[in-house]
């Protein structure tokens, strides 16, 4: 993968559309702009021009709009040429073939964003935010991805790194003077500075759960006995008849998975087989799968037939639900007075509804949103779309800082403290990409789509 190559790709999805966008990046951009378009004049940067596109053989391939962006003021930091043609896949293909005949090569997945990172147009957290933004499944995920794309996370980490480097410089100043110790007030100030970084690090790690909610959707499991109204509740939340509703018990044998948006959150809702003593092998398998799903669920909607006594739940289910992740939905409020809840369900949030009539379902939706929001960090400004790579580096950062604090408190030699602090600085560098690790970049950008 050579950065002095000129690369080309279709930047819009394949298939028919009003417009398709072909993106070119590299040193051949201006030459192509001069030879391929009917204007035959050097375009002014960042101006859109309307022209015919002529192939090398002189054929007019399409009527297009093109814009030249000169580096370093472009997405990749190089000269970039963007060509908007009609969204016929055949036209886009012919343009790509002609551009490759002019010396361009097909880009690798994520190569445009990789060049932007290598040319200093963004740090690695911003590069990852590009894919987060493309794949966002909710309004909140889009908002946080945009915030990260603007460099908020990277700037926070850079400030922390500079603070740690100042502490390293202070500590290392005493390495050559083993008989001298940091003054008590200086030591206290440095320990407080490290603890401040540790606190931020902890909040970032805690927000990883919320980031998973936004990235994948909140995995919401609908549980309960047969005929409690689980499928009716699913249909009610979705707003259409997705699940079969029947008076016959045990009609849901396998789980149904659907997505729904609630107040900016994406819920991945799973309707499951009713929990009871199975009457057949196939129903037994459905119940087994329901119990398995409790291990991956983030939120539980325990649906009860309010006119009947509380059921006895399997111990595997009881061990997973608690006041922070479960809402008891007492269904069939239109049929009369409810029976009291069992002791094992005391302390859980509850709401009474009629899933078939829609009574109080807005209250249930509000409770779902409130439960999800409770997983937010105390300060919403601290919420970052932490991924697995960030999480590993943040945990290493925390370990180094905790060790540095212990060394300070135990009056260990300055060399030990400085070593841990430098390990912390390196961990921050791995998050922002201020290190030379080609393997990490290969893995990260391989998940991007071609053209991005």
Annotated binding site: 23, 82, 121, 227-232, 246-252, 271-274, 452
For CA atoms 438, 439, 445, 450, the dihedral sign is positive
d(CA 33, CA 42): 7
Angle between helices 230-238 and 361-373 (to 10 degrees): 80
Q: What does the block give as tokens for 410?
A: 């135990």
d(CA 374, CA 260): 19
CA dihedral 133, 138, 140, 141 (to 10 degrees): -30
d(CA 85, CA 12): 11
C-alpha closest to that of 56 among 9, 6, 100: 100
Binding site as annotated, residues for GTP: 227-232, 246-252, 271-274
Preceding omega of 72 cis (within 30 degrees of 0): yes
d(CA 230, CA 355): 9
Q: Is the distance from CB of 408 to CB of 191 less than 8 angstroms?
A: yes
SS3 232: helix
Binding site as annotated, residues for Mg(2+): 231, 252
Q: How many angstroms separate the Cα of 413 from the Cα of each of 132, 173, 358, 407?
A: 44, 12, 68, 8
The continuous run of DSSP H or E covering 368 comes out as helix 361-373
């Amino acid at each position: 993968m050579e950065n002095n190559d000129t690369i080309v790709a279709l930047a819009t999805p394949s298939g028919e559309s009003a417009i398709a966008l072909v993106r070119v990046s590299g040193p051949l951009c201006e030459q192509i702009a001069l030879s391929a378009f009917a204007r035959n004049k050097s375009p002014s940067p960042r101006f859109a021009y309307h022209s015919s596109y002529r192939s090398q053989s002189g054929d007019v391939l399409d009527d297009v709009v093109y814009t030249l962006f000169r580096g370093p003021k472009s997405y990749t930091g190089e000269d970039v040429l963007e060509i908007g043609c009609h969204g016929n896949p055949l036209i886009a293909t012919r343009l790509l073939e002609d551009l490759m005949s002019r010396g361009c090569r097909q880009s690798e997945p994520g190569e445009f964003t990789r060049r932007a990172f290598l040319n200093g147009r963004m740090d690695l957290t911003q590069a990852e935010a590009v894919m987060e933004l493309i794949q966002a499944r909710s309004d909140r995920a889009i908002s946080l991805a945009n915030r990260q794309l603007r460099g908020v996370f990277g700037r926070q980490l850079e400030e922390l790194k500079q603070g740690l480097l100042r502490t390293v410089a202070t500590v290392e100043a005493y390495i050559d003077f083993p008989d001298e110790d940091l003054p008590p007030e200086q030591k206290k100030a440095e320990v407080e500075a490290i603890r401040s970084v540790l606190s931020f690090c902890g909040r970032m790690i805690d927000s990883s759960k919320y980031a998973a909610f936004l990235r994948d959707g909140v995995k919401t499991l609908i549980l309960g006995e047969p005929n409690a109204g689980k499928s009716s509740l699913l249909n009610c939340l979705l707003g259409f008849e997705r699940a079969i509703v029947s008076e016959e018990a045990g009609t849901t044998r396998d789980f149904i998975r659907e997505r729904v948006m609630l107040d900016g959150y994406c819920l991945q809702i799973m309707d499951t087989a009713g929990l009871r003593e199975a009457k057949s092998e196939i129903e037994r398998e459905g119940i087994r799968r329901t119990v398995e799903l409790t291990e991956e669920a983030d939120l539980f909607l325990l649906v009860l037939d309010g006119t009947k006594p509380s059921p006895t739940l399997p111990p595997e289910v009881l061990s997973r639900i608690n006041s922070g992740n479960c809402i008891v939905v007492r269904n069939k409020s239109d049929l009369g007075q409810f029976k009291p809840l069992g002791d094992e369900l005391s302390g859980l949030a509850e709401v009474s509804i009629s899933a078939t009539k829609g009574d109080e379902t807005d209250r249930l939706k509000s409770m779902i949103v409130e439960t999800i929001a409770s997983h937010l960090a105390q300060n919403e400004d601290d919420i970052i779309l932490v991924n697995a790579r960030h999480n590993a580096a943040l945990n290493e950062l925390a370990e180094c800082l905790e060790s540095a604090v212990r060394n300070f408190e135990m009056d260990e030699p300055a060399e030990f403290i400085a070593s841990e602090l430098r390990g912390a600085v390196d961990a921050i560098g791995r998050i922002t990409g201020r290190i030379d690790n080609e393997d990490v970049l290969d893995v990260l950008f391989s998940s991007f789509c071609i053209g991005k």
